[in-house]
Amino acid sequence: MDTSLAADPGPEIPPARWSGVDPMMPRPFTVKRVRKELADTFTLELEPADGGGPIRFQPGQFNMLYAYGVGEVPISISSDPDDPSVVAHTTRFVGSVTEALVHTRIGSLIGVRGPFGTHWPVEIAQGEDVAFIAGGIGLAPLRPAIYRVLSERQKYGNVVIFYGARTPEDLLFRKELQSWRSRFDINVHVTVDRATGRWNGRVGFVTQLIRGGGFDRHSSVAFICGPELMMRYSIQKLQEHGLGNDRIFISMERNMKCAVGFCGHCQLGSQFVCKDGPVYRFDNIEDYFSIWEL
Amino acid sequence: MVSRKGKTNGDAAAAAGAGTMERAVIDRDGLDALIAALQDDGYQVTGPAVRDGAIVPGRLATGADLPMGWTDSQSGGHYRLEQGDPDRMFDYVVGPQSWKASLYPAEQLLFTARRGEHGFTVDEPRIDAPRLAFFGVRPCDLAAIRTLDTVFEGGPFTDTRYQVRREGVFIVAVNCARSADTCFCASMGTGPKAAGGYDLALTEITAEGRTRFLIEAGSERARPILANLPQQPAGAKDVEAAETAVAKAAKAQTRAMVPEVEALLKRNLESPHWDQVGKRCLNCSNCTLVCPTCFCSTVEDRTSLDGHEAERRRRWDSCFTMDFSYVHGGSIRRESSSRYRQWMTHKLATWHDQFGMSGCVGCGRCIAWCPVGIDITEEARAIADSEGRK
Q: Where does the pLDDT of residue B4 fall: very low under 50, low under 70, confident under 90, or very high at 90 and above? A: very low
Average pLDDT over chain A reads 91
A-contacting residues in B 284-303 (Cβ below 8 Å): 295-299, 301-303
Residues of A in contact with B152 (CB under 8 A): 262
Share of chain B above pLDDT 70, in %: 94
pLDDT(B25) > 70: yes
Q: What is the mean pLDDT of residues B61-72?
A: 94
Q: What is the mean pLDDT of residues B305-311?
A: 94
Contact across the interface for B113 and A260, Cβ inside 8 Å: no
Q: Where does the pLDDT of residue B329 fall: very low under 50, low under 70, confident under 90, or very high at 90 and above? A: confident
Share of chain A above pLDDT 70, in %: 93
Distance of alpha carbon A97 from the chain centroid: 20
pLDDT(B130) > 90: no
Q: What is the mean pLDDT of residues A62-74?
A: 96
Find which of A262, A271, A285, A290 to mutate to test the B interface (most B CBs within 10 Å of its CB).
A262
pLDDT(A2) > 60: no
Is there a single domain that holds both residue A247 and residue A136? Answer: yes
**Among chain B residues, CA nearest to A252:** B327
Provide the shortest C-alpha distance from residue B183 to chain A (in Å). 26
Residues of B in contact with A270 (CB under 8 A): 350, 353-354
Q: Where does the pLDDT of residue B124 fall: very low under 50, low under 70, confident under 90, or very high at 90 and above? A: confident
Q: At a CB cut-off of 8 Å and minimum separation 6, what does B276 contact?
A: B382
Of B152, B317, B353, the CB nearest to A270: B353
CA distances to A181, B18, B199, B244 from B21, in Å: 75, 5, 11, 19
Q: What is the mean pLDDT of residues B155-177?
A: 94
Residue A220 pLDDT: 95
Q: At a CB cut-off of 8 Å and minimum separation 6, what does B329 contact?
A: none
**Among chain B residues, CA nearest to A105:** B119
Contact across the interface for A70 and B295, Cβ inside 8 Å: no
Is there a single domain that holds both residue A245 and residue A126? Answer: yes
Q: The domain spanning residue A100 has which CATH number?
A: 2.40.30.10
Domain contains A266: no
Contact across the interface for A262 and B297, Cβ inside 8 Å: yes
Is there a single domain that holds both residue A128 and residue A230? Answer: yes
Is the CB of residue B125 less than 8 Å away from at least one CB of chain A?
no
Residue B178: which of B217, B204, B199 has the closest Cα? B204
pLDDT(B19) > 90: no
Is there a single domain that holds both residue A78 and residue A126? Answer: no
Contact across the interface for A16 and B312, Cβ inside 8 Å: no
Is there a single domain that holds both residue A33 and residue A141? Answer: no
Find which of B149, B301, B316, B321 to mutate to test the A interface (most A CBs within 10 Å of its CB).
B301
Domain covering B10-108+124-251, topology: Aspartate Aminotransferase; domain 2 (3.40.640)
Q: Computed from CA positions of residues A112, A114, A115, A116, in that sequence, does the dihedral angle turn out positive or negative?
A: negative
CB A222 within 8 A of CB A158: no
pLDDT(A15) > 90: no
Of B157, B299, B346, the CB nearest to A18: B157
Is there a single domain that holds both residue A141 and residue A231? Answer: yes
Residues of B in contact with A70 (CB under 8 A): 301
> Domain coordinates of chain B in residue numbers?
10-108+124-251, 261-298+316-389
Q: What is the mean pLDDT of residues B351-380?
A: 98
Is the CB of residue B338 less than 8 Å away from at least one CB of chain A?
yes
B3-40 b/e with 16+ CB inside 10 Å = b?
ebeebbbbbebbeeeeeeeebbbbebebbbbbbebbee
Residue B390 pLDDT: 59
**Distance (Å, whole) CA A243 – CA A239:** 5
Domain contains A283: no
Of B156, B317, B338, the CB nearest to A293: B338
Domain contains A285: no
Residue B388 pLDDT: 80
**Among chain A residues, CA nearest to B311:** A69
**Distance (Å, whole) CA A37 – CA B345:** 42
Q: What is the pLDDT of residues A150-192, one digit of tens each?
A: 999 999 999 999 999 999 999 999 999 999 999 999 999 999 9
- Quote the number of domains for chain A: 2
Is there a single domain that holds both residue A81 and residue A174? Answer: no
Contact across the interface for B157 and A272, Cβ inside 8 Å: no
Q: The domain spanning residue A192 has which CATH number?
A: 3.40.50.80
Of B120, B159, B327, the CB nearest to A68: B120
CB B45 within 8 A of CB B60: yes
Q: Where does the pLDDT of residue B21 fall: very low under 50, low under 70, confident under 90, or very high at 90 and above? A: low
Contact across the interface for B332 and A293, Cβ inside 8 Å: yes
Q: Chains A and B: how many Cβ contacts under 8 Å?
A: 124
Candidate from A283-287, B11-15, B107-111 with smallest mean pLDDT: B11-15
Contact across the interface for B159 and A262, Cβ inside 8 Å: yes
Is the CB of residue B111 less than 8 Å away from at least one CB of chain A?
yes
- Complex ipTM tops 0.95: no
Find which of B107, B120, B308 to mutate to test the A interface (most A CBs within 10 Å of its CB).
B120
DSSP β-ladder status, A41-48 and A27-38: antiparallel
Q: What is the mean pLDDT of residues B352-370?
A: 98
Residues of A in contact with B299 (CB under 8 A): 71-72, 257-258, 263
Provide the shortest C-alpha distance from residue B310 to chain A (in Å). 5
CB A265 within 8 A of CB A290: no
**Distance (Å, whole) CA B47 – CA B201:** 14
Residue B14 pLDDT: 41
Contact across the interface for A28 and B269, Cβ inside 8 Å: no
Is there a single domain that holds both residue A178 and residue A232? Answer: yes
Is there a single domain that holds both residue A186 and residue A77? Answer: no
Domain contains A4: no
**Among chain B residues, CA nearest to A272:** B354
Residue A12 pLDDT: 53
Q: What is the mean pLDDT of residues B123-147?
A: 93
**Among chain A residues, CA nearest to B119:** A109
Is there a single domain that holds both residue A112 and residue A130? Answer: no
Provide the shortest C-alpha distance from residue B203 to chain A (in Å). 35
Residue A205 pLDDT: 95
Of B121, B312, B350, the CB nearest to A269: B350
Contact across the interface for B297 and A264, Cβ inside 8 Å: yes
**Distance (Å, whole) CA B46 – CA B58:** 5
Provide the shortest C-alpha distance from residue A146 to chain B (in Å). 26
Q: What is the mean pLDDT of residues B108-124?
A: 89
Provide the shortest C-alpha distance from residue B249 to chain A (in Å). 34
Is the CB of residue B357 less than 8 Å away from at least one CB of chain A?
no
Residue A218 pLDDT: 87
Domain contains A272: no
Q: What is the mean pLDDT of residues B333-362?
A: 98
Full residue range of the structural domain in which residue A46 is found: 27-116
Q: What is the mean pLDDT of residues A239-249?
A: 95
Q: Where does the pLDDT of residue A3 fall: very low under 50, low under 70, confident under 90, or very high at 90 and above? A: very low
Residues of A in contact with B296 (CB under 8 A): 263-265
CA distances to A40, A66, A73, B298, B302 from A99, in Å: 10, 12, 11, 20, 17
Share of chain A above pLDDT 90, in %: 83
A-contacting residues in B 193-232 (Cβ below 8 Å): none
Point out the domain boundary residue: A116, A142, A169.
A116
- The 3-class secondary structure across B264-285, one letter per residue, is HHHCCCCCCHHHHHHHHCCCCC
Provide the shortest C-alpha distance from residue B239 to chain A (in Å). 42
Residues of A in contact with B335 (CB under 8 A): 293
Contact across the interface for B119 and A109, Cβ inside 8 Å: yes
Find which of A229, A265, A287 to mutate to test the B interface (most B CBs within 10 Å of its CB).
A265
pLDDT(B138) > 80: yes
- The 3-class secondary structure across chain B, one letter per residue, is CCCCCCCCCHHHHHHCCHHHCCEEEECHHHHHHHHHHHHHCCCEEEEEEEECCEEEEEECCCHHHCCCCEEEEEECCEEEEEECCCCCCCCCCCCCCCCHHHHCCCEEEEEEEEEECCEEEEECCCCCCCCEEEEEECHHHHHHHHHHHHHHHCCCCCCHHHHHHHCCCEEEEECCCCCCCCCCHHHHCCCCCCCCCCCEEEEEEEECCEEEEEEEECCCCHHHHHHCCCCEECCHHHHHHHHHHHHHHHHCCCCCCCCCHHHHHHCCCCCCHHHHHHHHCCCCCHHHHHCCCCCCEEEEEEECCCCCEEEEEEEECCCCCCHHHEECCEECCCCHHHHHHHHHHHHHHHHHHHHCCCCCCCCCHHHHCCCCCCCHHHHHHHHHHHHHHC
Q: What is the pLDDT of residues B206-222, one digit of tens each?
A: 877 789 999 999 999 99
pLDDT(B7) > 50: no
